[in-house]
Amino acid sequence: MKVKMTNLLRDILVTEIETVSDHIPICPILLGEPGIGKSSIVKSMCDERGWHYFELLCNQLGDRSDLTGCRTVKETIMNPDGSQKEIWKQIFFPHQAIQDAIACAEQHPQDIVVLFLDEINRTSSDITSAILSFTTARKIGSYTFPDNVKFIVAGNDKGNITALDSASISRFCKYEIKPDAQVWMDYVKSVDALNPYIETVLNSSPDLIFCKNVNILSSTVSDDDGDQTAAEYETFDDSVEGFDQITTPRTLSGLNSFLNTCDIDSLSSLIGETEKDENGEEENMLQTLVYAHVGKTQFALKLCETISQDILAGQMRKATVVAKPQMPKSYKMINRCADRQTRDDMIANMTDDEMSAILLYAMCVKDQDNSDLITAVAKHYRQPLLTGDYQPQFANLKNHDELDADNYAALLNSGTVLGDMTRRILGD
């Protein structure tokens, strides 16, 4: 069972280091997904206890010689008859991090010195095997670890890793861990400002502190009468490969810092700027930013929706007067078109403001079927929200039941960026 990275786990690790390791040559190993904060919990624990902390990133070691470098030196020895002779011997020089830990332990014999061996199983089996002997033999080459050097090991439990057999894992007390949203938020608040949008999402859905890519797939399903209808469902990619980003405490920290530099106006601008992604789907720059940091995950989708809803709510607060829009001239011109092609060509040459005015007015005309017109304009309109004051006016008219139900439904069912965003923001 995986345990959350809470203060209770930290207390357990303190006991393992301060007490248990004095009697039994076994050290803790923390196993879990990358980026969940394994190294952070060890470093903060050492800082709180006043322990000396040294870190060795095992995945940066190319081969065993990087761990224990070797040099051949000449040495003069005495023969039994009193004569001298010169011999050559090999002297081992441990990695700098290990040497520093040993030197610190010798200089401070009353203090605990923690040597944190990170990414132990994301290196070659030869290096992993050499490191595993630290805790039992407590030697590296010709060097012996002082008694006050304590080991904590961390590794990943999935991905391209070196497996640990039962004999190897018996050298450790194994803790399989997962991140805790509250612990991460408390940590961020102690070193930085926690972004309110991220805090809102994690307070409502704390399990989203770690998640992988979500794919929206389409299929057909049959109802009780055997009729088939289109359906959308989400799948979660559990085998992240290549450069797919994921949501973890590490990636969230970067996103948190970036969002703290953004005000409402800049976030609104990000939402309003759209481009097509590699699948030809419209994606606004806020989504691009969030996906770059934490991947296209359930957390990312919920965060973008939360930010959009807040911006819309702010716009609605500005529009206090509920007034039906005036008929725009372009609405009359479109309705006079002799055929669909002429109408579509005219729409394609319109500005975003002109299309926003048409859409808003067309949805307000009650008892008149404007669904075809609304769909046609929405397909040319590439923004997720109506421009300027049209969006808050639109939301206010919707909330006061001033829209024609069928015309409004036409926008929601148009399969467009605006229709999809409207459904998510207004809850329809």
Q: What is the pLDDT along the chain (428 residues), one digit of tens a residue?
A: 566 667 788 888 888 888 877 667 778 888 888 888 888 888 888 998 999 999 988 777 766 666 665 555 567 778 787 788 777 666 555 678 888 898 999 999 999 999 998 887 777 777 777 777 777 778 777 778 898 999 998 887 765 555 666 666 677 788 888 888 988 898 888 888 899 999 999 999 999 999 888 654 444 444 444 544 444 444 444 444 556 889 999 899 999 999 999 888 788 888 877 777 677 677 888 999 999 999 999 999 999 989 988 877 766 555 555 677 889 988 888 888 888 899 899 999 999 889 999 999 999 988 889 999 999 999 998 777 888 778 878 888 887 888 999 999 999 999 888 888 787 766 66
d(CA 324, CA 363): 10
Q: Which stretches of 91-155 are DSSP H helices? A: 96-107, 125-132, 134-137
Length of the chain, in residues: 428
d(CA 125, CA 23): 28
Q: Which two tokens stand for residue 306?
A: 């939360």
The helix/strand/coil state of 175 is strand
Closest-CA residue to 267 (of 202, 197, 318, 189): 197
Tens-place pLDDT, residues 25-65: 778 888 888 888 888 888 888 998 999 999 988 777 766 66
Q: At a CB cut-off of 8 Å and minimum separation 6, what does 169 contact?
A: 29
Longest dimension (CA), the chain: 119
CATH architecture of 3-61+99-178: 3-Layer(aba) Sandwich (3.40)
Q: At a CB cut-off of 8 Å and minimum separation 6, what does 149 contact?
A: 101, 102, 105, 113, 115, 138
121 contacts 163 by C-beta, under 8 angstroms = yes
DSSP per residue, 234-303: EEE-SS--TT---B-HHHHHHHHHHHTT--HHHHHHHHH-EEE-TTS-EEEHHHHHHHHHH-SBHHHHHH
286 contacts 270 by C-beta, under 8 angstroms = yes
Q: Which two tokens stand for residue 358?
A: 């048409």
